[in-house]
Amino acid sequence: MNIAYLVNQYPKISHSFIRREILALERQGYNVQRLAMRGWKDELRDEEDIRERAVTRYVLQDGALAMAMDVVRMAVKRPGRFSKALALACKIGLRADRPLPLHLIYLAEACRIVPWMAAHGARHLHAHFGTNSTEVAMLASMLGGPAYSFTVHGPEEFDKPELLWLGEKIRRSAFVVAVSSFGRSQLFRWAAYADWAKVQVVHCGIDPGFHAVPPRPSPAAPRLVCVGRLCEQKGQMLLVRAVQAMVAKGIPIHLVLAGDGEMRGEIEALIAANNLGSHISITGWINGDQVREEMLAARAMVLPSFAEGLPVVVMEAMALRRPVLTTYIAGIPELVRHGETGWLFPAGDVDALAAALEACLAAAPEQLEAMGEAGHQRVLARHAVDTEAAKLAHLMHQTGA
């Protein structure tokens, strides 16, 4: 049972859930060919990612000439299919978020991977994210490659579905995976009713190796951690303001921002402007083991996001028996239960965020540990990686893979 996986960049620090899914599918008996556009020279800190890179084929690694030759071979060998795929790439490129030349490059990438998949004997192609990787998968299928499916995570796909031609990608696919019921509802908005049955929920799975550690008591220190890219959608600027409110009230607090990103400079400037350097620290990029240690060293994990799909870090914190403070958006309320496994608050509301921080910091250790245990049981029941991979394998099997 040979299949292929296509990702724009693989492996990647923030996409370890894709690696876990691939490995779980291999435990289901699938032989997975890893295909990616880029990622062969990125700095990696995780040993598992380094091993994955060694078994991944990279579309762009050999340069433009090699890809151009694949285009010529495909045009000569399958002129009818090539003409139809070219027409679709042009049609998409004339009304998309990216210019036409990029869509012609996607066609060239599709020409490159079709013979690779044929040599592997791949009977199905699965892509992650409904953006350019899925367009390449769709074009590859038109060129004579296997049937394709794709996983939509959000929020990017939900921000510009028409420009991404999400409905067309769904129509031509064998099936589509949403990572939450909320995500499925958003895909229903852009899929023809006849295609609704294609859209299935398969949760991202958590890695047993990540949380297979002895339970650690909630620390007495007023330490919280926020794990994620430092960017506008994660809401860290609002979190800095909430910490400022705690300090103004005389409430002890230390917040660790675990991650890096394009807004780091602005966040550091806001911290400095409010003299919060002794209350907030930024780690920069850290690997999975370091993320786990930061979560275990904190009373809870806080994520004041404005836009999400269903964050993996929320699952990981719950698996480690840490309560979660996060927003009522997207698929998050499907997993986090207010007052039972953590605190939910309205996105963008700094006062509600500050109130949640204060409640968490005032909570007795027994309350935090009860919340942590409830979260642990809930996430294991809903996000076990092998269970979710079995759902995905079933969908692939139905398509003939």
Q: Is the pLDDT of residue 8 over 90?
A: yes
Domain 208-383 part of CATH 3.40.50.2000: yes
Q: Is the pLDDT of residue 401 over 80?
A: no
pLDDT in tens, 239-257: 999 999 999 999 999 999 9
Do 2-205+384-398 and 208-383 fold alike per CATH? yes
Q: Is the pLDDT of residue 45 over 80?
A: no
Average pLDDT in the 294-298 region? Answer: 98
Whose CA is closest to 239, among 262, 273, 271, 265? 271
| Rounded Cα distance, 302 and 316, in Å | 12
| Rounded Cα distance, 120 and 128, in Å | 20
Structure confidence at residue 209 (pLDDT): 81
Identify whether the C-beta of residue 41 lies closer than 8 Å to the C-beta of residue 167. no
Output the six-digit token pair for 69: 């030759």
**Residue 218: band (very low, low, confident or very high) from pLDDT cuts 50, 70, 90:** very high
Lowest-confidence region among 98-107, 145-154, 204-213, 339-348: 204-213
Output the six-digit token pair for 92: 């998409």
Average pLDDT in the 305-331 region? Answer: 97
Topology of the domain covering 2-205+384-398: Rossmann fold (3.40.50)
Structure confidence at residue 266 (pLDDT): 98
| Rounded Cα distance, 374 and 339, in Å | 11
pLDDT in tens, 119-159: 999 999 999 999 999 999 999 999 999 999 999 999 999 99
Q: Is the pLDDT of residue 203 over 80?
A: yes
Average pLDDT in the 19-27 region? Answer: 96
Q: Is the pLDDT of residue 14 over 90?
A: no
Average pLDDT in the 276-288 region? Answer: 94
Q: Is the pLDDT of residue 190 over 80?
A: yes
Structure confidence at residue 90 (pLDDT): 98
Cis-peptide, bond into residue 11, ω within 30° of zero:
yes
Q: Is the pLDDT of residue 400 over 90?
A: no
Locate the domains of the chain by residue range: 2-205+384-398, 208-383
pLDDT in tens, 167-182: 999 999 999 999 999 9
Q: Is the pLDDT of residue 350 over 80?
A: yes
Q: Is the pLDDT of residue 317 over 80?
A: yes
End-to-end CA distance of the chain: 6
DSSP 98-133: S-HHHHHHHHHHHHHHHHHHHHHT-S-EEEESTTHH
- Per the prediction, the chain carries an average pLDDT of 96
| Rounded Cα distance, 181 and 158, in Å | 14
166 φ, ψ to 5°? -60, -40
Model pTM above 0.85: yes
